[in-house]
Amino acid sequence: MGRTAAALVIGNEILTGKVQEENVQVLARELFALGIRLLRVVVCVDDVEVIAGELAHLRQHHDLVFTSGGVGPTHDDVTIQGVARGLGRRVVRSPELASLLRAHFGESVTERHLRMADVPEGYQLVSSGSARWPAVQVDGVYVLPGLPEVFRMKMPILRESLAAQGGGFVSRAVYTLCDEAELAELLDRVVAAHPEVAIGSYPTWDDPDYRVKLTVDGADLAAVTAAVVELEAGIPAASLVRRAD
């Protein structure tokens, strides 16, 4: 069944509606392309105990966990402590990260800056050619920054570090003018006949082009294509808008 993953988003700013969360979709697309199933996302408050509890639970049930947010130098940046506690590990200072911080801040570097070199014991630094700063990984947990611009910069690291073993997932879509209730019987039939793919049905609200988008996802392109062909065969030609990769 391949590797499974969960994401833990740490951020009061998201739970109070100040900020639109943007990192989950970026991560989800990367994992999909890598053939890793993202099964669960949790958004929690900036609290060491809460983060520790969530992290421990997510890690127990998934091969990989990705955290987003809470890695700066202020009082509300408690992700490292939370992850360490959740994994039963101490917090240590990484000499490599401390060097990078010293090089970056030069003579104005302070103890507060250097706290950003604190990591759970047992950590690995993972980097890639195109990312200037490494990411921290420990026990299958990748600790990633919350700022969307910086989060995106870490994606090449994940791509290299987690390179697909046997290929990623593929997805195809069929756009139709049918409504969901008209499609429901057909969907039931194709879902039952193709247990190896995941089929989704998404109505649009006021798109003039189509009424429902059907998606077929899977690890095997031939299986995905077979299900798409069967869906298309069950839709009246006049209601079939287009197929998309």
Residue ranges in contact with a second copy by CB under 8 A:
9, 12-22, 24-32, 37-46, 72-77, 110, 112-113, 147-150, 169, 171, 180-185, 187-188, 191, 198-203, 205-206, 215, 217
The strand order across the sheet containing 240-244 reads 198-203, 212-218, 170-176, 240-244
Rounded to a whole number of angstroms, the minimum distance from the CB of residue 57 to a second copy is 10
Cβ-based nearer residue to a second copy, 89 or 109: 109
Cβ-based nearer residue to a second copy, 120 or 146: 146
Cβ-based nearer residue to a second copy, 185 or 209: 185
CA distances from 139 to 21, 45, 70 (A): 26, 22, 19
Rounded to a whole number of angstroms, the minimum distance from the CB of residue 108 to a second copy is 9
Rounded to a whole number of angstroms, the minimum distance from the CB of residue 81 to a second copy is 15
Q: Where are the alpha helices (DSSP H) in 35-174?
A: 48-61, 79-87, 95-105, 111-114, 148-153, 155-161
Helix (H) or strand (E) holding 124: strand 124-126
Rounded to a whole number of angstroms, the minimum distance from the CB of residue 195 to a second copy is 12
Angle of helix 79-87 relative to helix 48-61, nearest 10 degrees? 50
Gap between the Cα atoms of 31 and 19, Å rounded: 24
Cβ-based nearer residue to a second copy, 55 or 138: 55
